Structure 1
Amino acid sequence: MSTYTVTSFASASPAFTETTYEVPRELPAFHVFVDILACGVCYTDLYRFDAVPGSICGHETVGTIKDVGPNVNHLKIGDIVGFGYLRSSCLDCHQCTSGCDIMCKERKLFSHGPGGFAHAVVWDSRFVYKIPSSLEPKYAAPLMCAGATVFAALYNNNVSPTARIGVIGIGGLGHLALQFCRAWGCQVVALSGSLSKKNEALSFGAHEFLNTKELTTETVKAQPKFDFILNTTTGDLPWDLYLSLLNPNGILCLVGFQEKPLEMKSNHFLYHQARVVGFLVASRGVSKKMLEFAARHNIKPMIEEYPMTAKGAANAMQNVRDGKVRYRAVLIVPQDSSKL
């Protein structure tokens, strides 16, 4: 059987090793073969890197379609496309048919097969999105997870354009959240303990910057309140303090994995009808809307570029682990590399 030989970069903690695997040229009915142009490095990749030696990470992938399966009708060879966290779902259950395929019980996430730390990959075309021509691939890549996550939090919570929004954490997700919130029409406040990020946060779209190191039970009383607070961090926070910053019926939305149990007093929920919700990432339909919105409003991440090599992947991953990246690491495939 004729095959494609794919160059990839597998985890071999604390580094990566270059390897290859074979892909049949006769693709499954709905799949596409994609020559990768760029792949973002997400903090979630660290979990897989550490837990599964030999895995091929990467779920913020953008590339050019080189071949299509026999049942692929909405995409063609030469299209520039992106794909992310969700690899597939059953497409038939209530969650899938109601536009919430990310919650499908039969879902398969990016970790169920080779990811985007490679020169090429095969993906189900039904979970692949055409990239608007105005979005350069290296900037579109981080939108496939980081952008889709924060956009879904706004879209699925029906956030009003008149809302006052606080964004906790000005990192890979947070700096995109500021841009999306500003374009949404909201009054946007960056909440961070890193004063060195103040000017950049304002340039990303924040109207105000609030130093979280100055927040106390007393200072919170005098602060203008929020209708919606988006927490993009993974660390343990003084949750009661942040819930005190909400207006009645306000929402605290979590999009970062919290390793410790959340401890909160019930009075926020009873006396002020506060809500705490979480979002994993966007569904297929919302991902498409996110890309259209980003293109229309010229939303793009601030990135650091690394070569798509074993050394490049290792350097990018270590800088993400150390919190040194401003604000999203992206692996770039050399244009003279061979995918066959």
Structure 2
Amino acid sequence: MGIDFTVFKGSASGSIVEAKGYREAGPTEVLVKISHCGVCGTDEHYRHTDQGLGHEGIGIITEVGSMVHTLSEFRVGDRVGMSYFQKVCGYCDFCVSGRQNMCSNVVFFGTGNHDQGCFGTAVAWDISCLFKIPDEIPSEFAGPLMCGGSTVWSPLADFNIKPGTRVGIVAVGGLGHLAIQFAAKMGMEVVVFSGTESKKQQALELGASEFHVASGPGSLDKVEKVGALLITSSVSPDMAVYLPVLAQGALMFPLTVGFEQMKLTPMDLITRNLKVIGHVVSGTPNVRQMLRFAAKQGIKPIIETFPMTRDGVEEAMTKLRDGKMRYRGVLVV
């Protein structure tokens, strides 16, 4: 049958453009009627590109391709979520070892399917990158978990960070407020660093054990050291501030997509045996685990909602760009 849809795209000028499209389901695809979509900082990177925006979509399957019933459990009527990855091959070494986020043949947001996006009313999506949403998670809260939640879950789940470990989180924002919740519920001692005291009470309510103002070099010198540091700030922080608080062998995860340099010298790494690890959203097994964990533990983003219209998309992206979003925007059809 196929489906007609409205999609909101970027443009050379940076203005949001409303467009129309049509898709039929390929053999391994489903058609999804979108109800909600989270607004992510990565969408901003493609605002000047002629492509559909949005990659934290939630919706209902309305049609399935010819091979879907054979290859998966997805059925018409299922509520599903989509994320940064759009299709993985399933046969490369990374895919067969459960690391689909490192697939050698991956199609991800910005590299394909430019005619559609989750800022819209419907999409065709490959089942290799599709996820059922647990009943306990309302759709408006599920969207930001698909990319934002998966991004902060990945380092905590993939790198054997044990309960009781002191985990530092830089910034209380779209990623940071989710990282606090996941780390606390996983039994870690959560140490939050922020530029001001303004978010202290909220960080403690979300599960932080400690809150420290990182006001410049020397401001954290007396803080007990952390074994892992999740950098969730919108820009790369001054590492001279954070080096004194890192334990020997500490892991650092720069999680926000940015282009500024992190200023570290070889001696900084060598003398402390530090490890800087680049990591993207989780592979398929870990996304499933993340959703189950969030459902059982009641983890949910703090959100602001906007209508799924051109003006709504413009307003949400402007608020995010200006650093005024608290803490994840969600577009609602």
Higher mean alpha-carbon deviation, 143-152 vs 191-200, is at 191-200
- Asked if the contact 1:95–1:101 (Cα under 8 Å) also holds between the matched residues in 2, the reply is yes
Instruction: Give, as a single letter, the amino acid of the residue that structure 2 aligns with 1:32.
Output: V
Q: Secondary structure at the match of 1:291?
A: helix
Q: Which amino acid in 1 is paired with 2:275?
A: R
| Aligned counterpart for 1:187 among listed residues 182, 186, 189 | 189
- 1:133 match: secondary structure: coil
**1:119 equivalent in structure 2:** 121
| Whole-angstrom CA distance in 1 between matches of 2:171 and 2:220 | 18
* Pairwise CA distance, 1:243: 2.4
Distance 1:133 1:3, change over 3 A: closer
Equivalent-residue separation in structure 2 for 1:104 and 1:129 (angstroms): 17
- Residue in 1 that maps onto 2:217: 216
Tell me, what secondary structure is at the counterpart of 1:19?
strand
Map 1:75-86 → 2, pairs under 5 A: 75-86=74-85
Partner of 1:315: 315
Aligned residues with identical type, % of pairs: 35
Structure 1 letter corresponding to 2:57: T
The answer to whether the 8 A contact 2:178-2:300 is kept is yes
Secondary structure in 2 matching 1:314: helix
1:276-321 CA-partner distances (Å, limit 9, x unpaired): 1121111111111100110010000000000001110110011011
Does structure 2 conserve the Cα–Cα contact (< 8 Å) formed by 1:14 and 1:314? no
1:195-214 maps to which residues of 2 (within 5 A)?
Answer: 195-213=197-215
CA contact (8 A) 2:42 2:257 kept: no
Confirm or deny that 1:303 pairs with 2:303: yes
292-301 vs 4-13, which moves further = 4-13
In the alignment, the residues of structure 2 paired with residue 200 and residue 263 of structure 1 have an alpha-carbon distance, to the nearest angstrom, of: 30
1:165 corresponding residue in structure 2: 167
Residue number in structure 1 paired with 2:28: 30
Return closer, same or farther for 1:115/1:304 CA change in 2, 3 Å cut-off. same
- The answer to whether the Cα contact below 8 Å between 1:243 and 1:274 also exists between their aligned partners in 2 is no
**Deviation of residue 14 (structure 1)?**
4.1
Cα distance per residue 1:48-83 (max 9 Å; x no partner): 112x13x21001011011111121131111110001
Tell whether 2:37 aligns with 1:39.
yes
Shift of residue 34, structure 1, vs aligned partner: 0.4
State yes or no: 1:72 paired with 2:62.
no
User: Does the residue aligned with 2:220 lie in a helix, a strand or coil?
Assistant: helix
For residues 268 and 98 of structure 2, what CA distance do their matches in structure 1 show? Answer: 31
CA contact (8 A) 2:17 2:310 kept: yes
Asked whether the 8 Å contact 2:180–2:208 carries over to 1, the reply is yes
1:62 aligned partner: 58
Aligned Cα root-mean-square deviation (Å): 1.4
Amino acid of the structure 2 residue aligned with 1:144: M
Consecutive unaligned residues in structure 2, runs of 5 or more: none
Once residues 257 and 10 of structure 2 are traced to their aligned partners in structure 1, the CA distance between those partners, rounded to angstroms, is 22
Name the counterpart of 1:129. Answer: 131
Is contact 2:94–2:100 with CA below 8 Å preserved after alignment?
A: yes
Task: Give the whole-Å Cα distance in 2 for the aligned partners of 1:210 and 1:148.
Answer: 25
How far off is 1:190 after superposition?
1.3
> CA offsets per residue over residues 167-199 of structure 1, 9 Å max, x none?
001110000000001101111111111322111
Contact 1:36/1:119 (<8 A) preserved: yes
What's the CA shift for 1:11? 2.1
How many residues matched?
326
How far apart are the structure 2 equivalents of 1:156 and 1:240?
27
Match of 2:100 in 1: 101
**Deviating more after overlay: 292-301 vs 67-76:** 67-76
Q: Provide the residue aligned with 1:330 in structure 2.
A: 330
Deviation at 1:201, TM superposition (A): 1.2
* Paired amino acid for 1:231: I
TM superposition shift of 1:239 = 1.4
Contact 2:212/2:220 (8 A) holds in 1: no
Aligned residue number for residue 281 of structure 2: 281
Separation in structure 2 between the aligned mates of residue 162 and residue 281 of structure 1, nearest angstrom: 24
